[in-house]
């Protein structure tokens, strides 16, 4: 990924997690207020091996598969953005 834009909503993804394999640039394209940051480890040991997950402004979001996780992340992003409107 390119250098992320500064966003009011931060989505953090562990590069070792299945969620990182999705096209996460789609999030930044759909929501210009979002910055997606990928890191080698988010210190949620074991979770990245079990299920796709991400942190949205520090809130852990996870699901059984990547598609469901992306849907939940988008819902959380909408919620976070509603706090600023």
User: Is 3 a member of any domain?
Assistant: no
Band (pLDDT 50/70/90 cuts) for residue 45 is low
The model carries a pTM of 0.84
User: Is 2 a member of any domain?
Assistant: no
pLDDT digits (tens, 9 = 90+) for 18-37: 888 888 888 999 999 999 99
Band (pLDDT 50/70/90 cuts) for residue 4 is very low
Among residues 58, 65, 59, 55, which one has the least CA distance to residue 22? 65
Q: Does 44 have pLDDT greater than 70?
A: no
pLDDT digits (tens, 9 = 90+) for 65-76: 999 999 999 999
pLDDT recorded at residue 41:
76
Q: Please count the structural domains in the chain.
A: 1
The angle subtended at Cα 55 by Cα 53 and Cα 59, nearest 5°, is: 115
CATH code of the domain in which 62 resides: 3.40.30
């Amino acid at each position: 990924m390119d250098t992320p834009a500064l966003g009011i909503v931060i989505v953090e993804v562990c590069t070792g997690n299945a969620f990182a394999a999705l096209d996460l640039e789609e999030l930044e394209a759909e929501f210009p207020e979002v910055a997606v940051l990928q890191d080698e480890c988010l210190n949620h040991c074991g979770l990245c091996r079990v299920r796709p997950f991400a942190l949205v402004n520090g809130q852990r979001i996870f699901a059984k598969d990547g598609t469901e996780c992306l849907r939940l992340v988008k819902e959380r992003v909408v919620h976070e953005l509603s706090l600023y409107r």
